Chain A
Amino acid sequence: MPGTGPLDLNIKLKRLIETVDAANILTEPLTASIRSLLTLSASEIDCDEASVLVRDGDDGDLRFLIAIGRVADQLLNIRVPGGKGIAGFVLSSGQPMAIADAGEDESFYAEVDKKTGYSTQTILATPLRHGGEVIGVLEYINRRGDPPFASYTPEEMDRAAGFADAIASLVNAYQSAKLFRDLGERMLSSEDPDAASIREWLHDVRTSSEHKEMMDLALLIRELTSRGEAERILAREIFEAVIRFSDSGDNTSYLA
């Protein structure tokens, strides 16, 4: 048990919770980065409505991770069942495709439009690939201006594929951070009575001044990610200098 067990178990658990909390802090800037890149890419291909859908479970279901545009908030509550719609097909096939007149008659998009009140007419969907896996789908809907909207061109499909690569890397980083976060949340909400003392101990760790200092540091790092490249390089050099100084073993006089 944490309170009575060997010292190294305490240290391991403490590191785990620190990692989990740092991951929690990191997921937010990652979603902000995905949103920025999605907005930029949509603008590049003359579109205002776009979304990033991610694989949800092993059955090919998709959920909206990030969406921009008029009905973005409503989309976040919609789940795309495996193999349904253009997004479902692109996830399974790994093939990008574009479609015009999408919302007519009985298609999946007509169902989505009914829920959101939007009118989907033209779609460009590209797979998000990372490490040999299709982890999601990047979708652009309609165009700027008034309908009828021009269909997406092969050149725009190529451009979207370039953006998809970068977005897929960010989505993968987000999912890794989220994995840690969810793991920690599960541990903390476990109903197993044996876990009660662990939860209590974790609570103590999280409220300790030392842990708070670490989280403040993580927040500072997060803040730095939104600054310019020069600031990031400077901060990195300072961090590395501190670590080198610490490694040299000559820090007692400095700290004193």
Chain B
Amino acid sequence: MMNVDDSQFLSTMSGGFRPQAHWRSCSGRGVSVAVIDSGIDRDHPDLKGRLAESVEARVEGKRVVFEPSKSGDSAGHGTACAGIIAKVAPDARLNSIKVLGAAGLGDGNVFLAGLEYAIKQRYKVINLSLGTTKPQFFSPLHDLLDRAYQAGCIVVAAANNLPQPSFPSVFSSSLISVIKSSDPDPMNFGFTFGEVIELTAPGVNVRAPWPGGGHRSLTGNSFACPHIAGIIALLLEKDPNLTPFHIKSALYAIASENRRGS
């Protein structure tokens, strides 16, 4: 059983428990964050020395293996997400799991294998800006998300606000789903009740690092997601044994407070 010091982290004020303010001064030290994406440019000045592990998927027959990455970031997206996490939680240990561009088995299977790898490695926070709408992946993804929950891995996924549901962002019970907002302050994140409960975080014209040393202004839910991954790293620094349940409650409490304060 995990030993969680609720008294340190949460108070029992009316309106439910609330995280104490000290998390805002944390830097994510000691917290491992996985970025399942297009790879990370480890030489970018914003990310130098922050990457603990970098692997990429290779398809061998019908299975996917992960080996040390040599190809860097093929699309730019993974570097941008890593940069956003590093901006919010500068001392978090970043781990790149590259699943894009691995030819042979189709996107969904490689993406699933990447998630499974991250859970096996017990990365505390898993940033997923990818998703799938293919119904055949619904059940295996659901199983994987349950495994992540039981292993204490906190999965943060970019929500899909297009008409068709995208997995896993609709599995709201076992992960944290995020959509973009135009508020540029990552600490001032919020929440929204829709078909699933989603957190809102900066996702409009976000300035983020890009492979090759530069930066880009980016818009999309997938850039809101790493802001929340970074916030979770801050929350976990003082109390690494917080469960996904605690984290969700804490995020809700902070978002409610942000709403009251705005």
Chain A residues within CB distance 8 Å of chain B: 58-60, 81-86, 88-89, 91-102, 104-108, 127, 129, 132-134, 151-154, 157, 161, 165
Rounded to whole angstroms, the CA-CA distance of A179 and B168 in the bound complex is 32
Query: Closest residue to B39 on the A side, CB-wise?
Result: A83
- The answer to whether B219 touches A95 (Cβ under 8 A) is no
- The answer to whether B100 touches A59 (Cβ under 8 A) is no
Rounded to whole angstroms, the CA-CA distance of A74 and B134 in the bound complex is 33
Pick the contact of A101 from B160, B164, B216, B223 — CB < 8 Å? Answer: B216
Question: Is B210 part of the contact surface with A, judged by Cβ < 8 Å?
Answer: yes
Cβ < 8 Å to A, chain B residues 126-157: 129-135
Q: Pick 14 A–B contacts, CB within 8 A, sort by A.
A: A83-B101, A86-B76, A86-B77, A92-B107, A92-B130, A93-B131, A94-B131, A94-B132, A94-B166, A95-B160, A95-B221, A98-B219, A132-B134, A134-B133
Rounded to whole angstroms, the CA-CA distance of A98 and B216 in the bound complex is 10
CB distance from A145 to the nearest CB of B (A): 19
CB distance from A136 to the nearest CB of B (A): 13
Rounded to whole angstroms, the CA-CA distance of A129 and B38 in the bound complex is 21
Which residues on A sit within 8 Å (CB–CB) of B218? 97-100
CB distance from B194 to the nearest CB of A (A): 15
Rounded to whole angstroms, the CA-CA distance of A101 and B207 in the bound complex is 11
Pick the contact of B103 from A59, A93, A100 — CB < 8 Å? Answer: A59
- The answer to whether B133 touches A129 (Cβ under 8 A) is yes
Which residues on B sit within 8 Å (CB–CB) of A85? 75-76
- The answer to whether A83 touches B212 (Cβ under 8 A) is no
Question: Is B213 part of the contact surface with A, judged by Cβ < 8 Å?
Answer: yes
Cβ < 8 Å to A, chain B residues 194-243: 204-205, 210-223
Rounded to whole angstroms, the CA-CA distance of A133 and B162 in the bound complex is 13
CB distance from B15 to the nearest CB of A (A): 31
Pick the contact of A151 from B107, B166, B205, B213 — CB < 8 Å? Answer: B205
Pick the contact of A100 from B130, B166, B217, B221 — CB < 8 Å? Answer: B217
- The answer to whether B214 touches A94 (Cβ under 8 A) is no
Question: Is B184 part of the contact surface with A, judged by Cβ < 8 Å?
Answer: no
Query: Closest residue to B80 on the A side, CB-wise?
Result: A99
Query: Closest residue to B74 on the A side, CB-wise?
Result: A83
Which residues on B sit within 8 Å (CB–CB) of A151? 205, 217, 219
Which residues on A sit within 8 Å (CB–CB) of B166? 94
Known: A96-B162, A98-B219, A161-B162. A86 touches B75 (CB 8 A): yes
Pick the contact of B220 from A97, A100, A102 — CB < 8 Å? Answer: A97
Query: Closest residue to B217 on the A side, CB-wise?
Result: A100
Rounded to whole angstroms, the CA-CA distance of A85 and B210 in the bound complex is 12
Residue of B104, B133, B134, B223 contacting most chain A CB atoms (<10 Å): B133
Question: Is B261 part of the contact surface with A, judged by Cβ < 8 Å?
Answer: no
- The answer to whether B101 touches A100 (Cβ under 8 A) is no
- The answer to whether B100 touches A165 (Cβ under 8 A) is no
Pick the contact of A89 from B38, B134, B160, B204 — CB < 8 Å? Answer: B38
Rounded to whole angstroms, the CA-CA distance of A134 and B162 in the bound complex is 12
Question: Is B58 part of the contact surface with A, judged by Cβ < 8 Å?
Answer: no
- The answer to whether A92 touches B100 (Cβ under 8 A) is yes
Rounded to whole angstroms, the CA-CA distance of A59 and B102 in the bound complex is 8
Which residues on A sit within 8 Å (CB–CB) of B221? 95
- The answer to whether B75 touches A89 (Cβ under 8 A) is yes
Which residues on B sit within 8 Å (CB–CB) of A91? 107
Rounded to whole angstroms, the CA-CA distance of A232 and B204 in the bound complex is 44
Besides A93-B77, A133-B133, A153-B219, 7 other CB < 8 A contacts? A60-B103, A84-B75, A92-B100, A94-B166, A95-B160, A97-B223, A100-B218
Question: Is B42 part of the contact surface with A, judged by Cβ < 8 Å?
Answer: no
CB distance from A238 to the nearest CB of B (A): 36
- The answer to whether B133 touches A107 (Cβ under 8 A) is no
- The answer to whether A105 touches B213 (Cβ under 8 A) is yes
Question: Is B124 part of the contact surface with A, judged by Cβ < 8 Å?
Answer: no
Cβ < 8 Å to A, chain B residues 160-210: 160, 162-164, 166, 180, 182, 204-205, 210
Rounded to whole angstroms, the CA-CA distance of A84 and B71 in the bound complex is 12
